[in-house]
């Protein structure tokens, strides 16, 4: 169990593993092991009391990370801490640091803690565009991109196979402008040159990923890939992907005849790397909690997001008003 404890300035509390422990010197989210007979909430409350001397109010689950180490396997169940009483102190001799969220990535952490940082900092939805039909107007396709962004999508993959080159360039240029206006990550599928021309990130299909020898874009350019097995996940980590998509978790219409991995297999693959991993395949936003419970950063989808209705305008609510 681990807790995400934030102060009034939004900084996150990290503690440092002491000498004599596994992974000594690395920073982690505070918590500890669940003992027989304890609920998860009881275990976390006890550990934070023993380690830091605080009484906590445990909030919502953030993510559960299955992770394999050379000598053990674990599941790190991470909860938000809604409040606490007392002044946190390192009662076991451990160092502590209150870290601004935009600096969390600078701290060296155990593999199981790295996806927790991503869950706090990176988008939980990754939308993939369908390719426009032969009779679909560019304006209609771009309206779909605008709808995704209006619905809160902040990570978007432009996947445009089998369309004419000049049209693809026009659509990428226009979609990149739309994404930039709302500070969304926009990635181009499979075409590093086109991505660079329009200031976009790059997303590689599995075949191109396996041919990579090094990260093909600068460190500050978003870089993702599609994976279907452990070898591809390890290759993605080796070449420095920022995140990956893994699936299909369930059978999909876009890949007829391809059986889904299922959540147990997804979690087993998740154990092998510390990358943020989006689950894809037959999923939509309502599957986010289930995905996070199996170690996913979030959900990636094509139809599940593209077909979503526009979000209501600010200040307006659907359904009947509640009158006091």
DSSP E strand boundaries for the chain = 2-4, 12-16, 27-28, 55-68, 73-85, 96-99, 125-128, 155-158, 185-189, 201-204, 223-227, 243-246, 277-280, 298-301
Structure tokens at 56: 């906590």
Cite the annotated binding site for Mg(2+) by residue number. 31, 51
Which of 219, 161, 215, 150 lies closest to 188 in space, CA to CA? 161
Q: Are 189 and 203 in contact (CB under 8 A)?
A: yes
Cite the annotated binding site by residue number. 17, 28-31, 51
Cite the annotated binding site for 8-oxo-dGTP by residue number. 17, 28-31
| Residue 129 DSSP label | P
Dist. CA 137–CA 133, nearest whole Å: 8
Dist. CA 77–CA 298, nearest whole Å: 16
Residue 248, preceding peptide bond in cis (omega within 30° of 0) = yes
End-to-end Cα separation, the chain, in angstroms: 41
Crossing angle for the helix pair 165-181 and 138-150, to the nearest 10 degrees: 30
Radius of gyration of the chain, Cα coordinates, nearest whole angstrom: 21
């Amino acid at each position: 169990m681990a807790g995400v404890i934030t102060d009034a300035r939004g900084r996150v509390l990290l503690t440092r593993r002491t000498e004599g422990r596994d992974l000594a010197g690395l920073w982690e989210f505070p918590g500890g092991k669940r003992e027989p007979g304890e609920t998860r909430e009881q275990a976390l409350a006890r550990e934070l009391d023993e380690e830091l001397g605080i009484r906590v109010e445990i909030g919502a689950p953030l993510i559960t990370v299955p992770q394999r180490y050379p000598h053990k396997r674990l599941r790190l169940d991470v909860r938000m801490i809604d409040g606490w009483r007392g002044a946190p102190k390192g009662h076991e001799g451990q160092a502590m640091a209150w870290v601004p969220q935009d600096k969390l990535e600078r701290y060296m952490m155990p593999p199981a803690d790295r996806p927790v940082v991503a869950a706090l900092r990176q988008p939980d939805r990754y939308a993939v565009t369908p390719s426009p039909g032969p009779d679909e107007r560019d304006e209609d396709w771009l309206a779909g991109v605008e709808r995704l962004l209006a619905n809160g999508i902040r990570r978007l993959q432009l996947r445009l196979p089998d369309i004419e080159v000049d049209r693809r360039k026009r659509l990428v240029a226009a979609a990149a402008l739309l994404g930039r206006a709302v500070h969304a990550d926009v990635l181009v599928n499979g075409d590093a040159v086109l991505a660079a021309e329009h200031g976009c990130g790059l997303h590689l299909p599995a075949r191109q990923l396996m041919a990579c020898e090094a990260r093909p874009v600068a460190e500050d350019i978003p870089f993702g890939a599609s994976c279907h097995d452990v070898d591809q996940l390890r290759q993605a980590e080796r070449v420095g992907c920022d995140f990956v998509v893994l699936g299909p978790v369930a059978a999909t219409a876009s890949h007829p005849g391809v059986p889904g991995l299922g959540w147990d297999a997804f979690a087993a693959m998740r154990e092998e790397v510390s990358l943020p991993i989006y689950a894809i395949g037959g999923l939509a936003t309502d599957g986010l909690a289930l995905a996070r419970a199996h170690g996913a950063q979030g959900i990636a989808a094509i139809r599940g997001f593209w077909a979503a209705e526009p979000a209501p305008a600010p200040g307006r609510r659907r359904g009947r008003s509640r009158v006091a």
